[in-house]
Each structure stands twice: as C-alpha cells, then as structure tokens.
Amino acid sequence: MIRIGDFSRLGRVSVRALRHYAAAGLLIPVHVDAGSGYRYYAAAQLVDLARIASLRALGFTLDEIRELQAADLDPALLQAHVAKRRDQTAHAIAEQRARLRRLNALASALKSGAPSVAMRIVPRPVEPVLAYTLRARVPSLGSPVTALFERAESAVARSGRRATASPFLLFHDPSYRERQCDVEVCVPVVAAFPGVRVVSGESSAACVSYTGPYAQTAPLYAEVLRWLEATSSRVAGPVREVYYRFGADQRDYRLPKTVVVARPADYLTELQVPITDAARAT
C-alpha cells in the first residue's frame, strides 16, 4: 500500500484533489487507518488516477467521470461524452475568438481616437416576436413610416391584443437607405389575428442604443458596419430599430405614458443588426 502523500507525488495530483475524488466516489482509498485516519492506496490505482486526471484535463465533470466509471468505460457512452465535450469546447473557442476580435476592434478605435461607439455595441441574441406587421416601400423615412405605425397601432387597438413589448421597424433592403425604403412596421401582440406573424429572432445581433432624434440612425449604422468589418462579421438579416420611447399621434388608441414622449430629444431607440461570422458565412 502507498501512503496518500507518496501516492499524490507519484500521481502528480494534490492531496486535496485525492480527498475530493474520494468524497465524489471516484477513487476510494484501499485502507484508512482507524487511529490516525491516514489513507492508503494500491499501486494499481495509479492507472485509475491517471484516467481521472486525463478526463479532468479534457474538461469532463466529476459526475460525467462517475457515470463512465459506473459503465466500465462503455465505448459507446465514452464516444458520446467525447463528442459532447468536443462540441462544447469548439463553441467556447469560437466565443473566445469572437471576443478577441471585438477587443481588437475596440483597441483600434481607441487608438485612432474614433468615437466610442464600439464600447456601446453589445452582441446578443434577439428573441422572436409575435407582431402585427405592415410592409411597404416608402418614399422616405420619417412621416411615411409614422403613418404606417399609426395604422398598425390602430388596427391592434381595435383587436384588443396589444402586447407591452416595444414596437420596431425592419429594414428589408440589403443596405441601409433613406429613400424608397422597403420597411415593415411591427407592433407586438399577445395573440394572432389577420395581419399577425412571428418575426423571427436572431442568434446574434450587434445592438446599440441611443437617445434623441432618429437622424442618428444613419451615422450609427455606419459605425456598426465599421465594427463588423473589424470583427470579421457581416450583416445576416434585416436591420431593425426598436423604439423604447417615441412620439405617437394616438388618435384612436392609447399607449402607456412611460413610452410616449413629446420631444425628440427624449426618444430612446435601439439599433439591432443581425450578424454572423464572415468565415462561417462563406
């Protein structure tokens, strides 16, 4: 038998780790001295310890290792666990690479003295939304879009199915434009009726909020495009504007006072640009 200290040195793991493995039922000492409580292991257990250490180094949890041991390292089960761990590792590496690209983009922006839009961009998923929508090609942004929203809000008000979520606008043109725009106004609802569809979500979108007039959208979108180029990303779907505080005529409907404001300076808007890794898209 080998004392725990010597076993620790031979197996190149700490005594604390050995105690942890014993408590988890992974590697039980062959003998525990009744008087001193000192633990002893068999030389053959060094093979078991090496296997545990190897699986731990690959990222397996103690519960997963226990399951594999209970199944006598069944090849099919081991293969399934390895495939799962490989996929998880690949996903984690992709996330770290994306984070590194964003850090590089921010470092470049700060070094050049460019506006700090890069510090405000938050990549995150966008949930699907059940919404009443109206799509049209409008001669310009501004009042034609407002008119579409008024029609949509009125229709939803008549249905009595308005959700509390914020309305938003989809830009369907391949690139941002302010004339002859293919847009779709979307008013969230709680249940379907004619004119309602599920607006699909996005697995990842570059999101940036701003306060004040909508004239900021075009230059902000240009900044987001520069950020996408710096992070090796590309636009992956219709850009959307989400309106958290906005102006509205409310001629035949009413919205909560917390979201309707009179002054453009008080508007609160979020630009959401669906993105994908350029390398994956090719």
Mean per-residue pLDDT for 197-202? 96
Name every residue whose Cβ is closer than 8 Å to that of residue 88 and which is 6 or more positions away in sequence.
59
Q: Which amino acid is at 93?
A: I
Task: Answer with the residue of higher pLDDT: 113 or 210.
Answer: 210
Instruction: Return the pLDDT at 281.
Output: 47
Task: Kindly report, as residue ranges, where domains of CATH 3.20.80.10 are found in the chain.
Answer: 122-281
Helices (H) and strands (E) counted in the chain, each on its own, are 8, 12
pLDDT at 73: 79
**Which tokens belong to 266?**
């008080």
Using CA atoms, how far apart are residues 263 and 219, in angstroms rounded to an integer? 21
pLDDT at 31 over 50: yes
User: Can you give the pLDDT at residue 101?
Assistant: 76
Q: What would the pLDDT profile of 214-233 be if each residue is shown by its tens digit?
A: 988 888 888 888 888 888 88
Residue position matching structure tokens 């929508």: 133
Residues of the chain with CATH 1.10.1660.10: 2-73
CATH topology of domain 2-73: Multidrug-efflux Transporter Regulator; Chain: A; Domain 2 (1.10.1660)
Mean of pLDDT over the chain = 89
pLDDT digits (tens, 9 = 90+) for 11-22: 899 999 999 999
Is the model's pLDDT at 10 over the cut of 50? yes
Residue range 39-78, pLDDT digits in tens: 999 999 999 999 898 899 888 999 999 888 888 878 888 8
Residue 241 has pLDDT above 50, yes or no: yes
Comparing 78-87, 155-164, 240-249, the range with the smallest average pLDDT is 78-87
Decide yes or no: CATH 3.40.50.2300 for domain 122-281. no
pLDDT of 278 strictly over 70: no
Can you tell me the distance from the alpha carbon of 40 to that of 89, in angstroms, rounded to the nearest whole number? 36
CA distance 138 to 144: 6
Q: Is the pTM of this model over 0.85?
A: no
- Predicted confidence at residue 245, as pLDDT, reads 94
Cα–Cα distance, 226 to 154 (Å, whole number): 38
What is the arithmetic mean of pLDDT over 32-42?
Answer: 90
Q: What pLDDT is attached to residue 282? A: 44
Of the chain, the percentage scoring pLDDT greater than 70 comes to 95
272: Cβ contacts below 8 Å, ≥ 6 apart: 126, 168, 202, 205, 206, 207, 239, 240, 241, 242
AA identity, residue 131 = A
Mean pLDDT of the 115-137 span: 87
- Residue 181 pLDDT more than 70? yes
What is the structure's pLDDT at 17?
92
